[in-house]
Every structure is written in C-alpha cells, then in structure tokens.
Chains A and B, each alone.
Chain A
Amino acid sequence: MSGGINAVAWVLWFLAMVVVPLTSRNPLYLVLVLMVAVAVLFSLPQQHGQTSAWRLFAYIGSGVATLSIGFNVLTVHAGNRQFARLPDSWPIIGGPLTINALVYGTISAIAIASVLFGAATFNSAVRHADLVRLLPGSLSRFGVAAGVALLFVPQTISASRDIYDAQRARGHHFRSLGDARAFVVPLLSTSLERALLLSEALETRGFGTSAIVRQPERRAPLASIGSALSIVLALIALGLGSYTPGILLMGFAVALALVGSNGHVRRTRFRPIEWSPRSLLVSATSAVTLLVLLFGRAVTDLHLTYDTFPTIESPQFSILAGAAIVLLVLPALVVER
C-alpha cells in the first residue's frame, strides 16, 4: 500500500492515464492529462524514497521530448502554413518549414511528457515488489525483470549524483560536452557493473528457479497458439482502423505469450492485497475513465482524433471525455500523506 492506495488501483490509474496519449492527439485532452499527472505526482508524500528520483526522470525526459518539435519541423514538410524554407537540395531537412509541423511536434512533445509524468507518478507511488506480487506465478519472471528495470532508474539517478559530486571534488569543471566524459564513463561503467551484480543477485536468490514445477505443463502450446491468433486479429483490427480492439488484442497476445513461456515457474506471495476505501474509489474511477475512453465512442463522438495536416483547425472537446480525464485527479485528493 502506497499512500493508502493499493497497487491494483495504481495500475488501473496508470492504464487509464496512458490511454489518452496513446490513442489521441487532441491537444486539449493531452494538456488536461498532463496537468492531472503533474498534480498527482506532486500530491504524493515526500518521504517516499523514489519520488524525487522519478521527478528528475520526468523533467529530463520531458526536456528531451521537446526535441521532437524541432525534429518534426525539420523533417515534415507538409501543411498549408509555411513560415520558412530550406534549400530543396539539402537531404531530409530541405523544403518548406510549416506551422502545421510545429504544432504537431508540440502536441507530440506534450503527449510524451504526459506519459513520462504518468510513469513517474506510478513508479513513485507503487513499490515494484507489490507489482511483482500482482502477477500470477507463471508471469513472475517477467514481473521481477520489469521490477528490477524500474529499480534501476532511481539507482542510476542516485549514482549520477555521487559521481557528479566526486568529480567536482576532484576539481573537475563541467563546462563543455567534452567535460561530460568524466561523468558519463563512470556512470556507464558503474551502471553496467550494477546491472550485472543485480542479475547475479537474482540468480543466487532463486529468481525463476525451475526446481519447483507445479504440474506437467499443457498450457504452453495452447498459450502460444492463442497468442499467435490474437496477434493476427489485432493486426486485422488495426488495419481496419479499429484502434481500441487492436490495442486490447495486442495486449492479450503479449500476456498469453508470457504465460506460455514461463509456465513451469511457480512463485508464492507473502503479502495479500489490501482493499481500503481509497483503493476501491481510485480503482472504480479509473475503470470508468478506461471504459469511457476505450468504448465511449460507440455512444458519442469523443473527438479523440486530431490532425494539423493539411490545415490547422481548432480542436473539439467532448464533455464526457474531459470529465473522464479529470476523474484521474482523484488520487491527489485522497492519497494518505
């Protein structure tokens, strides 16, 4: 339990949150969801060990995401509102530079930033060990690997501070890109060393042991066939423009593949999942948001799609979709501080 909200509720919240940047380019929704993610991130209790590290991760990631604006302007030469032109003879970047590309690049940067702030919030709020416990035994190997990957980011950020301090104490000035070598090389080498040691630690602590086999496995072939079938159906759905069923089918295919590949591993859980009123409330509202954003278009137009090509139009807003996104701010109001 993190902030009185259990891991299941946080998973549902995160899924509902990322649906917006994954399925929509409507800037109104994207800005709204970014504000929601930032509000929830800053509502989390400060004493939570990982929070500051993940905030830093979100800031740096969002800074990098702004590069997509320039990339978009220089490489996409479509749109009706030209503001400059580079010589056509220049490869890739040559041609008209348009406001349409600039706006689309900005929208993409906001989408990336919202995913990063959502991920930072999720990782700050949930102990990855709790996530691992959510998975059935057959998926534990995938879950622990993912958990270790999540642990790796804040550990690397923490190591980067130590290295920065140590190099300053050695009298090193960071004035140019070349000076960064004194920072980057120890960071890479210590990160690799730590990854290797962490993997060794996992091995010696029985992670993914095949010594305990539950039953003779019959699931693997069935899971593989089911996974392959789901991928085919997902591709058909995506090809026909049905994005929601396509994404759902693809997720189902991945889950089945994981079940098939790790069917022989058994793992138990020490800590049962606790359902507090806060957890129930966040789960329920997140589920509502998910349902509205994935299936609401069957009832009314949610205006999720938006494009700046060939002309820039004002984005439209659906009260239903907007309200569903605003519901995601609930953890900021109920989290235990």
Chain B
Amino acid sequence: MSAVTLTALSYRFPASKQDVLRTLNWNVLEGSVNLVVGPSGAGKTTLLQCLNGIIPHFHGGSFGGDATVLGNNTRSTAPRDLAASVGTVFQDPESQFVTGTVEDEIVFTMENLAYDRQTMRLRLEETLDLMGIHHLRQRAISELSGGERQRVALAASLASRPRMLILDEPTSQLDPLAAHDILSAVERLNLDFGMTVVIAEHRLDRVLPFAENIVSIRDTELRSGATQEMLPTLDDVPPLVQFGRFHGWHPIPLTVRDARRQLRTLTDIVPHISQAHASGDRVIRIENVNFSYGNTPALHNVNLDAHAGEVIALVGRNGSGKTTLLKQIIGLLRPGDGRVLLNGESIASQPVQNIASRVGYVPQFPSAILHQESLREELAFTAKSQGKTIDPEIMTERLGIAECLDRHPLDLSGGQRQRAALAAICAAEPQVLLLDEPTRGLPGHDKAILARFIREYAAQGKLVFIATHDVEFLILCANRVLTLASGELIADGAPANVLSGSLSFSTQMNRLLGGDILTLGDAGVPDSQLS
C-alpha cells in the first residue's frame, strides 16, 4: 500500500521564475525508509513540505499535480489535519519548539489531537525511554545542548505515534554518537511499528545503512529506486561506497561490517599515508584558560599553541566546549582565568572589533552576519570596512557559489548561506579563521570544495580552526586535531594519531582498514577515481 503518491507534482515559489519541482511522480510504500538526496538548494526541503501539506497551504506560489499522503489529498487537507498521521522534524529544531520545557513540548501535539491524559502519560514515558531523555524531562529547552534539543524535537514528533515521519537533516547538528542514537530510534520505530520514514540528509554515511530507497533530486527532476540500484548513479557518496565501487564489489557495502566481509577478497592494500603539513610561527597561545557559564564550567585549564599554516580541527561531543573555545579566541567571551595571546600579545584589553581585523569568525548560524542586498555587496562591505580590495568572482568561484553572487544572501539555501558567510569573512583575509560547524547543510561535493578552500587558505600562512562533528570532512583539510571533553583538552596531535581507532571520531576507512589509514587516498584509491 502506498503511503505517498505524487502525480505530476510541480511547484514554483511566489515571485520565482523557475520551478523548484517539475512534474514529479513518486510512490512511497507504507513502512519503507526513503532517503532524499541532492545538491544544496535542489529542492529537498520543498519536497518534504509537499508531503506534510505546508505546500500548498502555507507559502503560496504555483502548485501543480497532486500529492496524496496516507489517503489524504494535500490540496484539500490542511497540514494541521495531517498531524495525527504525519510527524515532521525540521532542519533547525529551535524553530519548532512551541513551549518552554521538555515534557510540555513532547505532549503538545497529543494535546492538540485531544488524547486523553492516561494515553498521553503512557506515550510520554515510552518516548522519553525510546529517545533516552528521561533525565531531561523537567528541563527548560533553553538550557539544552544542540544534540539534546534535536532529540527532544524528534521525541515531540514521535510521541503521538504518527504513521509517517518526515525528517529534514535530523543529524546535522549532532556528534556521531548522538546521531547514531537518533537514527537507531527511528530505525526501531520503522522495524517495530512499520512507521514510514522520509529523510533528507547530507550525511549519507549515517543513513544509508537503513535506507531501503533513495530518491535523488537534481535540476527540478526526481529519480528514485532501491538503494543498491541508485548508488551507482549518485555522485555524492560516502568513502565506503566509493571504496566498494573502486574495487567493483557487489552489492556495494553500506556499513563497515558489509565492507569487512568483502575485504577478504582483496589481496593487497598499499597504504599511502598523508604527510603532515609544515607549520610556521606561533600565532595563538592559550594559557591555562578556564571559563564558566554561571555555575556551569565550560572550559577547564586549556593550554594550546597554534601556528601559521595549521588547520586545527576541534572535535568533541555536543556541549564539550568547542564553540566556547572559538569565542575565547575572538574575544566574544573572556577567560575567567588564564589568557589568550595573539601574535604574542594578550587580547584581554582589546575590543572585539580590533581583534576582528586579524581573526575572522564564521558562526554556526550564518544569517547573523548577512545584511546586504546581495552577496556581491556583502563582500564589498567587508572589503571596504577592512580597507582591502577583493575580486568577488574569484572568491565565490573558489567556494562554489559564483552563481549566488547577485542573489540576496537570505534567499540562499542553508549550505549556500554557510559558504556566503565564509566568503564575507574571508574577504578581509584574516590571519586566523575560526569556523563553527562549517559543513552544516553541505553535500559531499561542496564539502570537498570547502576543504580545498581551507587548505589553500592555510597554505598562505594563515591559521584555521574548525569546530566540527564531521570527521570525513576534517580529514580532507585538517593537519591537527584537538579533542575536547567536558571543557578539557584530552587529545592533541596529527589526525592519524587522534582519530585512528577512536570509537566516536574515526573515519569509515579507518574503521574498515585500521592502522593509520583515514582517507580513501590513504587506502590507495587514486584521486582520479574519487567522486
């Protein structure tokens, strides 16, 4: 039985001249898990909005064809009336919270659907157990970390037990362990209760293992099929899939366990371990830095030297202190104890604006810094205020967003906006660049472009810090990795030393082949064979 039937579905946003989706036909079987993939800005979120009825009821625009979801035609059924059977988790959990506390949030949908108190109580307890958030039940949402909020958002959508669950990049803000927990819960609901799942996600390595079908959107068109049928046709796939393709394995491995079984057929893998980059003069020194938010410690006795030419990745679980450390370097937060030195001078007495001429900071949510009418004007604004001359075409070309130059920054997709903010900051060519989760919303191809940009930037004698959960990304550009746990620096070294064998932060290739192998290149796959 079909959960979703799209018939000649087309959609165009108001005031837009181009269709986002054009005459799409798609059939989703009830109880299946479907992964939506496509480049940044291809229309993945728009497709999901057609399934929960937000389109055509909310945004206006031109809507053609039909979408039938669990027997309801979305033209005649409002999203609120689909809520009993369709749950949605938004890309940014912050945007979907309506109440102030965890329990209130989880029961909110059930209250709207007029569940009796006993049923609500039962569902609440089950959902808290399922998501492992019993300990958070009385907490205010404003006090939760990003990962905890994502779990609460998912719990709030699951509590009413919808027949279908729509997830828009549910793991984009999560560390690997938290992402695994979330996706395991979704998988269990699918297996045990037959819940249909439609999930848009850029981190394919996380979702592919349990996706039955893939739907790919590119240039307004849709292709769909079983996972193994679709994989050979996709450009952007995780390292494990590329490794399987390179060795001609069939079926293509989706998990490290699958790959390990096929690995026996290989007789020789000659590792080509990447060499560490040379580094220059010391730029940043962090001495005995401690910091607390009120009574909650965030950094504890952090010591660190960072040099020109280094690309330093900060890894650690949600709430481990990565963003706090970046804010110490730019001076947005000041140490309780200890000091931060920039080129040998303490920044303690320097205003943020002065530090900013040498340190560029791209926050996790880039909308906070974009305020001009176009990306071109945004770059010109930075160049003017810092007294620099830049060529906007070259800068945006290097970041793969040249086509966005004359568009309004806030009309861009999440991934494009992220790179637009980076371009706006890099236009000033700061000596130190701080990036907070720069791959949020970026597909693999764009991550590779970003990694190349960062490598080239550091090669000019600059220092780059990246706070990230994306291990497959960081090994493409970082030459040093710092691990933070509960505000303490617990590991510092070359990627191979820190990441190899790590339960939480190793790469797919390392989990498969062990040793110091981290990338496909290390495993002997030539660059020309990489997608």
Chain A residues near B (Cβ < 8 Å): 49-50, 127-129, 132, 137, 140, 144, 147-148, 151, 158-159, 162-163, 165-173, 181-182, 185-186, 189-190, 193-194, 197-212, 266-271
A77 to chain B, nearest CB (A): 42
- Pairwise interchain contact A204-B83, C-beta atoms closer than 8 A: yes
Q: B residues within 8 A CB of A211? A: 80-81, 84, 113
Q: A residues within 8 A CB of B460? A: none
* Selected A-B contacts with CB under 8 Å, 6 pairs: A128-B99, A205-B80, A205-B156, A211-B81, A268-B115, A269-B117
- Pairwise interchain contact A205-B54, C-beta atoms closer than 8 A: no
Q: B residues within 8 A CB of A166? A: 361, 363, 368-369
- Pairwise interchain contact A206-B84, C-beta atoms closer than 8 A: yes
B343-368 contact mask (Cβ, 8 Å, vs A): 1 or 0: 00000000011001101110101011
Please measure, in the bound complex, the distance between the C-alpha atom of A165 and the C-alpha atom of B424, giving whole angstroms: 16
- Pairwise interchain contact B386-A128, C-beta atoms closer than 8 A: no
Partner among B107, B113, B114, B385 whose Cβ is within 8 Å of the Cβ of A172: B385
- Pairwise interchain contact A270-B110, C-beta atoms closer than 8 A: yes
B328 to chain A, nearest CB (A): 12
- A-B pairs under 8 A by CB, number: 189
- Pairwise interchain contact A168-B353, C-beta atoms closer than 8 A: yes
Near A by CB (< 8 A), chain B positions 473-531 give: none
Q: Name the residue in B83, B112, B357, B425 with the highest tally of chain A Cβ atoms < 10 Å from its Cβ.
A: B112
Interface segment out of the listed B89-97, B218-226, B252-260: B89-97
Q: Is B235 an interface residue (CB 8 A)?
A: no
Q: Is B57 an interface residue (CB 8 A)?
A: yes
Q: Is B143 an interface residue (CB 8 A)?
A: yes
Q: Name the residue in B90, B99, B101 with the highest tally of chain A Cβ atoms < 10 Å from its Cβ.
A: B99
Q: Is B98 an interface residue (CB 8 A)?
A: yes
- Pairwise interchain contact A49-B100, C-beta atoms closer than 8 A: yes
- Pairwise interchain contact B112-A205, C-beta atoms closer than 8 A: yes
Q: Name the residue in A151, A173, A201, A205 with the highest tally of chain B Cβ atoms < 10 Å from its Cβ.
A: A205
Contacts known (A49-B140, A171-B386, A186-B368); A201 close to B357, Cβ less than 8 A: no
Partner among A129, A158, A168, A270 whose Cβ is within 8 Å of the Cβ of B120: A270
Q: A residues within 8 A CB of B81? A: 206, 209-211
Contacts known (A168-B332, A170-B425); A270 close to B117, Cβ less than 8 A: yes
Q: B residues within 8 A CB of A266? A: 114
- Pairwise interchain contact B109-A162, C-beta atoms closer than 8 A: no
- Pairwise interchain contact A209-B84, C-beta atoms closer than 8 A: yes
- The tally of residues in B whose CB lies under 8 Å from a CB in A reads 69
- Pairwise interchain contact A204-B363, C-beta atoms closer than 8 A: no
Please measure, in the bound complex, the distance between the C-alpha atom of A147 and the C-alpha atom of B88, giving whole angstroms: 21
Partner among A129, A181, A206 whose Cβ is within 8 Å of the Cβ of B113: A206
Q: A residues within 8 A CB of B416? A: none
B58-78 contact mask (Cβ, 8 Å, vs A): 1 or 0: 100000000000000000001
- Contacts A127-B99, A172-B385, A197-B96 aside, 20 further interface pairs with beta carbons under 8 A come to A49-B143, A128-B99, A129-B104, A137-B114, A165-B363, A167-B369, A169-B330, A169-B369, A186-B368, A203-B53, A204-B83, A205-B80, A205-B156, A207-B80, A209-B112, A210-B81, A267-B111, A267-B112, A270-B121, A270-B124
Of chain A, the residue at the smallest CB distance from B117 is: A270
A150 to chain B, nearest CB (A): 10
Q: B residues within 8 A CB of A159? A: 368
Q: Is B52 an interface residue (CB 8 A)?
A: yes
A167 to chain B, nearest CB (A): 6
Please measure, in the bound complex, the distance between the C-alpha atom of A159 and the C-alpha atom of B364, giving whole angstroms: 13
- Pairwise interchain contact B99-A129, C-beta atoms closer than 8 A: yes
Q: Is B410 an interface residue (CB 8 A)?
A: yes
Partner among A169, A186, A197 whose Cβ is within 8 Å of the Cβ of B92: A197
Of chain B, the residue at the smallest CB distance from A170 is: B369
Partner among B86, B121, B332 whose Cβ is within 8 Å of the Cβ of A204: B86
Please measure, in the bound complex, the distance between the C-alpha atom of A91 and the C-alpha atom of B360, giving whole angstroms: 51
A141 to chain B, nearest CB (A): 10
Partner among B83, B111, B332, B359 whose Cβ is within 8 Å of the Cβ of A270: B111
Q: B residues within 8 A CB of A185? A: 371
Of chain A, the residue at the smallest CB distance from B352 is: A168
- Pairwise interchain contact B57-A128, C-beta atoms closer than 8 A: no
Of chain A, the residue at the smallest CB distance from B82 is: A204
